[in-house]
Structure 1
Amino acid sequence: MRAHYNRRVRPREFSIGDLVLREATLATKNPAEGKLAAKWEGPYVVKARPRPGTYRLQDMDGRDLPHPWNAEHLKRYYQ
């Protein structure tokens, strides 16, 4: 099972300075929008990579987000 999983998984790695979108959380979604609410928020700039798979983000105004984010909840933003 491990070999099958490892063949199909796509690793996500971002460099410092890359633009990414963050998966919207229940706390940030507007309940009035229901299922039509946006699934992704951003763009954000990758500020640091404290450990493999975790990233510190910064919004476009230069404010840091309060905690690191896992690569599982991020995707690359293409302009």
Structure 2
Amino acid sequence: VAATAVAFSGIIAFVGLIVPHLVRILWGHDYRRLIPLATIGGGAVLLAADIIARTVMAPRDLPVGIVTSIAGAPFFLWL
């Protein structure tokens, strides 16, 4: 299911598969906190990935999908 979702929506949606699980591990199963924290966490992870992608190869832009896949693949395999 996860591979199909990533294949259709792109690697950015890969973050949407990882961040909610990470938030659930860190802050528990209370959905009143889980949904807002997952939303904010997903935005923060993509913002951090974009900043890293723009600064690693300063005159050129590295695609954000590469940064998210490098950072997210080990966590997704662990999960």
Q: Is TM > 0.5 for Structure 1 vs Structure 2? A: no
- Comparing both structures, which one devotes a greater share of its residues to strand? 1
- Comparing both structures, which one devotes a greater share of its residues to helix? 2
* TM-score, normalised with respect to structure 1: 0.31
* Higher CA-based Rg: 1
* TM-score, normalised with respect to structure 2: 0.31
